[in-house]
Amino acid sequence: MTLPGERVAVVTGGTRGIGAAITRALIPEVGAVIAVARDRVEMDGVEVLTCDVTDASAVTNTLDGIGQIDVLINNAGTSTSNPIERTSDDDWHTMLSVNATAPFLCSRAVVPGMKERGFGRIVTVASTAGLHGSPYITAYTASKHAAVGLTRALAAELEDTGVTASAVCPTYVKTEMTDRTIRNISERTGAGIEDSWRRLADLTPHGRILQPEEVADAVIDLIGDPTANGQIRELDGGS
């Protein structure tokens, strides 16, 4: 897919899980890859910058400091699981801040430069929870629906500018975040870890957990397709 010219890509939450897989997949495709994360982690071939992507001033300072940004991957995310009556105000605000406000802030920061140059790719990593309702994850589901809505609105606004906005919506992925979900299931049900993984896989349409590299492949496809504006690609574990 290699993009023309010395394109610069930024991946939020780009040092772990899905983000790390996307970062690695981008290295041969662009001129430079910058991972933005809460903590500084060394990655070969990648510059890592620390930033709280829920803080408007921090986002502006960090992304303006990079200069030209041609590809933005809004990947930073978090999750929580509780019945609604046990979902705290902090849970609600955290889900919206990380999963919805952060993509908004980062997209707002890069769009003017992309429009000026007549080229840009914005891909947001949402979730199948952004397309369907699921029990016990009300705050997470609402935040991912917001991320999908943001993408659709951006795509409509950016039509005919050379800038595209799209999203991937994966089902459960084998990451540290999902590991935490598995531990919660195990603690609540008394089931073993392996049995909990099977239970989680059974909740997916095709009975399997995705690998981070599968999400990265979908992101790379969207970046390389200039007609992909407004695409919301569901990754449900099927072929």
Q: Report yes or no: 60 and 104 within 8 Å, Cβ to Cβ.
A: no
Same-domain check for residues 183 and 83: no
CATH of the domain at 135: 3.40.50.720
Same-domain check for residues 157 and 147: yes
The position carrying tokens 């659709």 is 152
Same-domain check for residues 187 and 90: no
Question: What pLDDT score does 81 carry?
Answer: 86
Q: Give the structural domain span for 148.
A: 8-170+211-230
Same-domain check for residues 215 and 190: no
Question: What pLDDT score does 1 carry?
Answer: 61
Question: What pLDDT score does 2 carry?
Answer: 60
User: For the chain, what is the domain count?
Assistant: 2
Low-confidence ranges of the chain (pLDDT < 50): none
Rounded to an integer, what distance in angstroms lies between the CA atom of residue 150 and that of residue 239?
27
Indicate whether 2 belongs to any domain.
no
Task: Go through the chain and tell me how many residues it has.
Answer: 239
- What are the two backbone dihedrals, phi and then psi, of residue 10, each rounded to the nearest 5 degrees? -120, 130
Q: Report yes or no: 199 and 133 within 8 Å, Cβ to Cβ.
A: no
CA atoms within 13 A on the CB side of 175: 23
* Cα dihedral 36, 42, 71, 116 sign: positive
pTM of the model: 0.92
Indicate whether 3 belongs to any domain.
no
Same-domain check for residues 158 and 184: no
Helix 212-224 to helix 17-26 angle, to the nearest 10 degrees?
Answer: 50
Same-domain check for residues 198 and 89: no
- 172 catalytic? Reply is no
Model confidence pLDDT, tens digit, residues 58-95: 999 999 999 999 999 999 999 998 899 999 999 999 99
Indicate whether 39 belongs to any domain.
yes
Q: Report yes or no: 2 and 28 within 8 Å, Cβ to Cβ.
A: yes
Same-domain check for residues 153 and 194: no
Alpha helices for 97-211 (secondary structure H): 102-117, 138-158, 176-189, 193-202
Same-domain check for residues 52 and 134: yes
Same-domain check for residues 162 and 94: yes
Same-domain check for residues 128 and 204: no
Question: What pLDDT score does 202 carry?
Answer: 82
Could you say which DSSP state residue 85 is in?
A: G
Per annotation, catalytic residue among 104, 119, 140, 172: 140
Q: Report yes or no: 107 and 164 within 8 Å, Cβ to Cβ.
A: no
Could you say which DSSP state residue 211 is in?
A: P
Model confidence pLDDT, tens digit, residues 18-45: 999 999 999 999 999 999 999 988 899 8
